[in-house]
Amino acid sequence: MNIKVCGITQLKQLQQLDGLEIDFAGLIFYPGSPRYMGDKFSPTDLKHSDFDLKKVGVFVNAEYEEIASRIDEYSLDVVQLHGQETPALCESLSDHAEVIKAFQLGDKSGPVDEIIADYDEVCDYYLFDTSSADGSPGGTGTKFDWALLGKAKIEKPFFLSGGIGLEDVAKINAFRHPDLYAVDINSKFEKEPGIKDMALILQFRQGLKK
């Protein structure tokens, strides 16, 4: 099982994740997030580092020019689009990096296959997160009903996200879907926003079935 750790704000922690053989690390470029990258480490630091993990830039309703600039600046391998981005934007960005399109699911969501249909040809992965009552883009720290995915065909590799913690290892190992590709973890593995607890992440990685 692949693992993505999102909300990294320190170069040292990015290096530690690479040492733990984590597969993806998320760098948030959305100013509204408490884990906003800002200028916490420089683009040069990433350009001159050799990582096995994939660096994922997380954006919310950003313009093409801004995202393309960050891909180049920070040598991003993947972009994660966590807002109301159009299929056309996903397709344009796919020339520069792999694309994860995120969708928020909850009690009032429609059928998953209908929600994702327009994006089938224009992105590499989906990510399913928990919808919030106030419409904010993720970061709720809560789980949605994974049964919503069990009913869907999807037919593209997807990341499972939303309030996942160490206590969910057995549930993840028991969850069955042919397209489940990775789990995305964040706030449940923090000492404070943007600062991860590496011991917890290691426990989580060791507990997941490969």
- Report the pLDDT value the prediction gives residue 70, as an integer from 0 to 100: 95
Q: Which stretches does DSSP call E strand in the chain?
A: 2-6, 24-28, 54-59, 78-81, 98-105, 125-130, 158-160, 180-185, 190-192, 195-196
- What pLDDT digit, counting tens, does each position of 78-122 carry? 999 999 999 999 999 999 999 999 999 988 888 999 999 999 999
- Report the pLDDT value the prediction gives residue 177, as an integer from 0 to 100: 96
Q: Domain residues for 171?
A: 2-207
* 8-state DSSP, 67: H
CB atoms inside a 10 Å sphere around CB 205 = 19
Q: Which CATH number does the domain housing residue 68 bear?
A: 3.20.20.70
Residues 112 and 110: their CA atoms lie apart, in Å, by 6
User: Against a cut of 0.75, is the pTM above it?
Assistant: yes
- Structurally, the chain folds into a number of domains equal to 1
